[in-house]
Structure 1
Amino acid sequence: MRFIVYGAGAVGGVLGAYLHLSGQQVVLIARGAHLAAIRDHGLTLEDATGSRTMAVPAVAGPGEIEWQDGDVVLLGVKGQDTEAALRELAACAPAATPVVCLQNGVDNERQALRAFEHVYGVCVMSPTTHLTPGVVRADCHPVPGLLDIGRFPSGADSAAEAIAAAFRKAGYESVPRPDIMRWKYGKLLRNVGNAVDAVCGRAAGVREIVGRIRAEAAAVLDAAGIAYTPEDEDDARRADILKAAVADSRGGGSSWQSLARGTGHIEADFLSGEIVLLARLHKLAAPYNENARRWANHFAREGRAPASLTPVDWLATLFE
């Protein structure tokens, strides 16, 4: 197999680095200053063992790749970039190419299935950081993450087994799961708090807001009849496997990092926004998730610094 990592940021960049270090073929698709840094100096991986810079092939888009049998796409872009990425892939990658969604949210796999026959979801539990062009960091050691995989919408086939084996060879924990979307909806319940983490940081009162956002999201999933892994099952999977290399090594999660890098966009529409969509489809209200979505998008559009809104101000706009 050769892995085409479309989106070599935090999760994709770290995974691409470990796959490369384990002797597996990797091509990174990156953009802007990050791509330029990788091409000029190599991809730098930081983890608990130190810093390593490696020469990994990197391109600006899938049209620069000579596609071959055995290629597997690891889709690592944020949810708001999935449509454009799939459009580029569909223009040049064979339709039989497996597409593996390494993303938060639950809509990416559905989009991919329109263009590609073999689509796989991955429940990603891998704390990583990407704030500097050309540099990514694994925040857990010795296991950098959990990457359980399954075919979308359900099932586990030989390709899922082979990809899971490749992930394990790279140092990750990975098992095929026929009910992978149940795990991804469970992960979504954790991720709906990302938007508040991004705009309010870890100020007093944030934990209570996040708890209400998650409870509201769970109620919406229950009303919609959507199965998800409960928190205790999710915690049991993580168990003692994910160990922080440095306490509080990240300033924040993936949404916080988007604001810190000033990307101008954020994936809130595909996290809390997914709950809002489901709520509207089932004639329910989801004010906490809607407020989270709106504030995150406002911060991204305005280029506001992460963690600069107080929880009091966040709550003041709850029912506007």
Structure 2
Amino acid sequence: MEKNNNDLRVVIYGIGGIGATLGGWLTQKNNNVYLLARGENAKALKSNGSILKNIVSDSSETIVVKVIEDLNEIANIDVVVITVKNYDVEKVAKDISEKLGDNPIVVGLQNGFENQRILPKYFTKIVYAVVVQSGWVDKPGIFGTRGKGHLTLGTPENKNPEIAEKVAKILTPGIPTITTQEFQDAAHSKLIINLSNATFTLISSELKDDDSIFKLWNIFMNVYLEGVKVVKAAGYKEYKLKGLPSWDVMEMGKNLEKATAINNFKRNLKYSWFNSMAQDMIHRKKNQSELESLTGYLIQLADSFNIEIPYNRVIYELSEQQFKKKPYQPLPVETIWEEINKNLNNG
């Protein structure tokens, strides 16, 4: 007899910002959710619950969660939602495969496409997600968010549609979740906005005046529009993701007058340094990032179509150099602006 969705045992593997928000909210609606965490994070979650702080509403909630530190601690796991970053996916996939075989449904919640290369080596019942959801770690057991976003599930070749629908029903009580048959369009549309992760990690948040903000706005816009150009050339179509700007809006935005551009950009600018790459490099000082799987992926795609993307290339090359430095320090926007213009003039 097939289990009801709420009877399925779900493990959220990796309790950073996304794992904590999804796992916490899902726990409030489902008694069969387990958060797999380790070290100080696991200790804090067990002792104090998961504390989610919403910086938009200036509120916090404490959620009592079930915590495990190893997959062997519980039996009959039906679904594993992997919420670690790309650079940890292989290690996690091996761990799941060694302990659970190919039995569970495996859901990959990563930016980019690295999980599409790794997970099929180990599993057959796979679903991927495009994640539009904010979350970060303030300290062990305490997480920040801007509130509930949404997930879009699917697979590259529309395999396992019934599994995708099943997973959507399981996850929706935690974060609104839909399925799509245009998953690669959705994933490439999300990639374009994720290109700014490197921009806001490489460039310091200390902007001395409106001229600095305008330079950053120009860099952000060109990084985005180069992404659109490459993704279109590769044959992917725009997939409208709620809460994210459309390609047309961004295209029109490049012609804004300076004062209007600065005022519009300022509205949400403070949130830009909460992105996952900045969290790794600046706040957690990990010296690990998803640079290669995001901007690096776009550069490979651009090269395959002989498309020049000078803004993304400068951001990528400088990030590659800077991210190796310990301690890592972001650069002033003026430094990046100068390098980009040098590159454009030499081109």
Which of these residues, 155, 163, 166, is aligned with residue 159 of structure 1? 163
Residue pairs, 1:118-197, within 5 angstroms: 118-140=125-147, 144-154=148-158, 157-170=161-174, 172-197=175-200
Q: TM-score, normalised by structure 2?
A: 0.78
| SS in structure 1 of the partner of residue 66 of structure 2 | coil
How far 1:235 sits from its partner (Å)? Answer: 4.5
**Cα gap change, 1:299/1:15 in structure 2, threshold over 3 Å: closer, same or farther?**
farther
Greater displacement, 42-51 / 188-197 = 42-51
Which of these residues, 24, 27, 32, is aligned with residue 34 of structure 2? 27
How far 1:196 sits from its partner (Å)? Answer: 0.9
In structure 1, what is the equivalent of residue 274 of structure 2? Answer: 252
How far 1:249 sits from its partner (Å)? Answer: 6.1
**Cα gap change, 1:292/1:87 in structure 2, threshold over 3 Å: closer, same or farther?**
farther
| SS in structure 2 of the partner of residue 301 of structure 1 | coil
Taking only the aligned residue pairs, the percentage that are identical comes to: 21
CA contact (8 A) 2:230 2:298 kept: yes
**Cα gap change, 1:67/1:115 in structure 2, threshold over 3 Å: closer, same or farther?**
farther
Question: Per-residue displacement from partner, 1:124-176 (whole Å, max 9, x unpaired)?
Answer: 11122213111112312xxx111121234325623222221222222x22111
Specify every segment of 5 or more residues in structure 2 that has no aligned partner in the other structure, as ranges: 1-7, 208-212, 247-267
**Off by >6 Å, runs of 4+ in structure 1:** none
Q: 2 CA distance for matches of 1:109 and 1:164?
A: 19
Which of these residues, 108, 127, 130, is aligned with residue 101 of structure 1? 108
Question: Per-residue displacement from partner, 1:43-101 (whole Å, max 9, x unpaired)?
Answer: 22233453314242131x44x344425x2111111112222221222222221422111
User: Is residue 335 of structure 2 the alignment partner of residue 309 of structure 1?
Assistant: no
| SS in structure 2 of the partner of residue 123 of structure 1 | strand
**Cα gap change, 1:305/1:264 in structure 2, threshold over 3 Å: closer, same or farther?**
closer
Larger helix percent: 2
RMSD between aligned residues: 2.8
Q: 2 CA distance for matches of 1:42 and 1:232?
A: 30
How far 1:201 sits from its partner (Å)? Answer: 4.5
Residue pairs, 1:21-60, within 5 angstroms: 21-47=28-54, 48=57, 49-59=59-69
Question: Per-residue displacement from partner, 1:93-133 (whole Å, max 9, x unpaired)?
Answer: 22142211111112212321121102111111112221311
Greater displacement, 8-17 / 26-35 = 26-35
Which of these residues, 304, 311, 317, is aligned with residue 294 of structure 1? 317
**Cα gap change, 1:292/1:35 in structure 2, threshold over 3 Å: closer, same or farther?**
farther
Greater displacement, 202-211 / 276-285 = 276-285
Q: 2 CA distance for matches of 1:222 and 1:138?
A: 32
CA contact (8 A) 1:131 1:257 kept: no
Letter paired with 2:172: R
User: Is residue 233 of structure 2 the alignment partner of residue 210 of structure 1?
Assistant: no
| SS in structure 2 of the partner of residue 14 of structure 1 | helix
In structure 2, what is the equivalent of residue 239 of structure 1? Answer: none
Which of these residues, 185, 200, 204, is aligned with residue 203 of structure 2? 200
Q: 2 CA distance for matches of 1:249 and 1:272?
A: 20
Q: 1 CA distance for matches of 2:151 and 2:109?
A: 8
**Cα gap change, 1:35/1:289 in structure 2, threshold over 3 Å: closer, same or farther?**
farther
In structure 2, what is the equivalent of residue 242 of structure 1? Answer: none
| SS in structure 2 of the partner of residue 73 of structure 1 | strand
Which of these residues, 14, 24, 46, is aligned with residue 7 of structure 1? 14
Q: TM-score, normalised by structure 1?
A: 0.84
How many residues align? The count is 303
Specify every segment of 5 or more residues in structure 1 that has no aligned partner in the other structure, as ranges: 237-245
CA contact (8 A) 1:99 1:120 kept: yes
**Cα gap change, 1:184/1:77 in structure 2, threshold over 3 Å: closer, same or farther?**
same
